[in-house]
Amino acid sequence: MLVSDFDFTLPEELIAQEPAPERSGSRLLHVNGTAGEWVDGRFKDLPSYLRPGDLLVFNDTRVINARLYGHKESGGRIELLLERILGDHLASAHIRASHAPRVGGRLVIDPDIPARVEARHENLYTLRFEAGSSILALLERHGHLPLPPYIQRPDNRADAERYQTVYARHPGAVAAPTAGLHFDGAMLESLQQAGIALSFVTLHVGSGTFQPVRAEHVEAHRMHSECFHVPESTVQAIERARQNGGRVVAVGTTSLRALEAAAQGGALCAGHGETDIFIVPGYRFRVVDRLLTNFHLPRSTLLMLVSAFGGHETMRRAYAHAVDARYRFFSYGDAMLIDRQDG
């Protein structure tokens, strides 16, 4: 497969720069992968697309204030994006600077937090923060919310709430599981009252989710790795849904990746792990029946994933419709509910 097979033209004005006034106020495109059909709707109508016994699986990761600013000891300005917290004082990070910092060099993070470059592996640096407080505490006080690169404005107070899901619990992500941003407390309550079960996994979304695929052929792309946890309670909830004729609905591509990664051995297993699972057309899904997701970047691994799920040609046509119908795209944009293509 060619990466260009997953390209499309997106007018810049369709890239959402702000969230909808209300979390559940977005639009919803329902796509039937097998029939190759779609219906325009509203996200508030989501309960009508579900039935008692269905199970929604959410990603309860929490976005950390992963963007930091500072300077090298020599004075050059730097911008850090923490990729992963490795310990109380150790983290891996991307560093933007006019000249790459050297291993062993010292950095000063605003306002006056010393850090040392301990190692470099390709584009990631291992940093040791030398202040007394833990990295999480430092980020809470001095970090900035890492809005995606296509949101062309600084983060603000509203983002501190709206770029988190209402059920976010476990800090560690540097990007939001954006399909979950549409849910508010009232929607979650109405789903449960309708007999829809809710369960959770954790996958700490990395910045690699925004990285373009630079290879010409899909098979040549190397997927980034992310850590995940599938609790035993979620495995049991999926078993109950199956026994009762319910469908497993992944809320977001990150929930889907966690579930499918945990089932790579054949059966779904609880536990922690690392996954670089790369889902492209031809993949055989083991766990998930339906996928709730936002609209994704052209030529991205996430567009390849949804094309595998709903059918490549169906998704190509559905995206063309979404552009024509002026849906809002990407993290703060509208949603899509996809029924998996059979076969």
DSSP letters for 136-202: HHHHHHH-B----TTS-S---HHHHHHTS-TT--EEEESS--GGGGG--HHHHHHHHHTT-EEEEEE
Give the DSSP letter of residue 309.
H
DSSP conformation letters of 131-152: SSS-HHHHHHHH-B----TTS-
Cis status of the peptide bond prior to 111, with omega within 30 of 0? yes
Distances from the Cα of 67 to the Cαs of 63, 81, 101, 136, in angstroms? 11, 5, 17, 12
Residues 228-257: tens digit of each pLDDT: 999 999 999 999 999 999 999 999 999 999
User: Are 179 and 252 in contact, with CB atoms under 8 Å apart?
Assistant: yes
Rg of the chain over Cα atoms, rounded to whole angstroms, equals: 20
Is residue 89 within 8 Å of 105, Cβ to Cβ? no
- Cβ neighbours of residue 267 under 8 Å, at least 6 residues apart? none
pTM of the predicted model over 0.85: yes
Of 141, 85, 84, which is closest to residue 110 (Cα–Cα)? 141
Instruction: Tell me the torsion sign for CA atoms 115, 122, 60, 67.
Output: positive
Residue among 329, 282, 275, 288 at smallest CA distance from 304:
282
Rounded distance, CA 34 to CA 291, Å? 14
Digits of tens for pLDDT over the chain (343 positions)? 999 999 999 999 999 999 999 999 999 999 999 999 999 999 999 999 999 999 999 999 999 999 999 999 888 999 999 999 999 999 999 999 999 999 999 999 999 999 999 999 988 999 999 988 899 999 999 999 999 999 999 999 999 999 999 999 999 999 999 999 999 999 999 999 999 999 999 999 998 887 778 899 999 998 989 999 999 999 999 999 999 999 999 999 999 999 999 999 999 999 999 999 999 999 999 999 999 999 999 999 999 999 999 999 999 999 999 999 999 999 999 999 999 998 6
Kindly tell me the burial class for residue 277, based on how many C-beta atoms sit within 10 Å of its own C-beta (0-12, 13-18, 19 or more): middle
Which residue type does 295 have?
A: F
- Spatial contact of 43 and 28, defined as CB atoms under 8 Å apart: yes
Nearest to 310 by CA among 297, 327, 293, 324: 293
Residues 6+ apart with CB under 8 A from 342: 33, 34
C-alpha 281/C-alpha 287 separation (Å) is 16
SS3 assignment for 232-277? HHHHHHHHHHHHCCCCEEEECHHHHHHHHHHCCCCCCCCEEEEECC
Domains by residue range for the chain, with CATH = 3-63+159-339 (3.40.1780.10), 67-142 (2.40.10.240)
**Beta-carbon-side half-sphere exposure of residue 295 (alpha carbons within 13 Å):** 31
Identity of residue 284: R
Rounded Cα gap, residues 193 and 196, in angstroms = 7
Residues in the chain: 343
The Cβ of residue 183 has, within 10 Å, a number of other Cβ atoms equal to 22
Torsion of CA 61, 68, 295, 313, to 10 degrees: -100
